Amino acid sequence: MSTAVISQRRRVRSSAALKVMGAEVNGLIMTARQFDRALFEPGHRFELINGVCVVAPPPDENERLPNDVLSFTLRLYQQGPHGKFLNQTMPEHQIAVGSNRRRADRVIWCGLGRHPKRGELPTIVIELVSEGRRSWIRDYETKRDEYLAAGVREYWIINRFERTITVWSKTSTGRRKKVWREEQTLQTDLLPGFELPVAEVMGEASRWDDSAS
């Protein structure tokens, strides 16, 4: 086979590898390596679960608004006297948990003393629960087990339906659960001096429904 033919086939494979993938790849069987190298259309959420690409719609207003509260509160904290403990935070971040690839609503790196490296596991992972039993099982059980097993120190679950924030912590003997209710203010040892009034988060979670009524 000539060198020209080989080069042409390589270019074809390269072009295929660079194809931007959209919602049509939902259910496509992929390896973690293929998923990591793929280009995905903006607007949807792409995850790799047990070797299958799962495509979900973007977060709605009742999920984006409380995420904005988190961002604002964390940035204010970062500018305060204890801000050195918060190294970075960002929304919609992909996390490698074994061979799976999860898309977290928000992540936090703290206590590193430096800027996190690309691909470095976050210290805290935050998910906002969507409606439906399947979503609740995924967020409260499946993701909890995956994140803590991967080494995440804390996993926060924001539930706008029950108006609670459940925090799972990784401990030396296993894991610990604490539920923060609407009248309480969330605190964490990982961010000394940080305070998150649960009511402020829940207020934004229902604001869009109130404005539409």
Domain match, 76 and 165 both:
yes
Residue 152 φ/ψ, nearest 5 degrees: -60, 135
Domain range for 27: 3-56
Domain termination residue (choose one: 39, 56, 73): 56
In tens, the pLDDT along 52-75 reads 999 999 888 888 999 999 999 999
Domain match, 39 and 66 both:
no
Domain match, 44 and 79 both:
no
Domain match, 39 and 132 both:
no
Residue 18: which pLDDT band, with cuts at 50, 70 and 90?
Answer: low
| CA angle at 146 for the pair 141 and 150, rounded to the nearest 5° | 150
Domain match, 84 and 10 both:
no
In tens, the pLDDT along 114-154 reads 999 999 999 999 999 988 888 899 999 999 999 999 999 99
Say yes or no to pLDDT of 212 above 60. no
Decide: residue 19, CB within 10 A, 0-12 exposed, 13-18 middle, 19+ buried: exposed
Percent of the chain surpassing pLDDT 90? 77
For residue 208, the domain's CATH number is: 3.90.1570.10
Supply the pLDDT for residue 209: 65
Domain match, 49 and 68 both:
no
Amino acid letter, 146: E
Supply the pLDDT for residue 167: 98
Say yes or no to pLDDT of 207 above 70. yes
Domain match, 45 and 128 both:
no
Domain match, 48 and 74 both:
no
Domain match, 68 and 46 both:
no
In tens, the pLDDT along 151-193 reads 999 999 999 999 999 999 988 888 999 999 999 999 999 999 9
Domain match, 133 and 76 both:
yes
Helix axes 61-78, 198-212, angle to 10 degrees: 150
Say yes or no to pLDDT of 4 above 90. no
Domain termination residue (choose one: 19, 36, 56): 56
Task: Quote the pTM value.
Answer: 0.87
Domain match, 123 and 169 both:
yes
Number of domains in the chain: 2
Domain match, 73 and 163 both:
yes
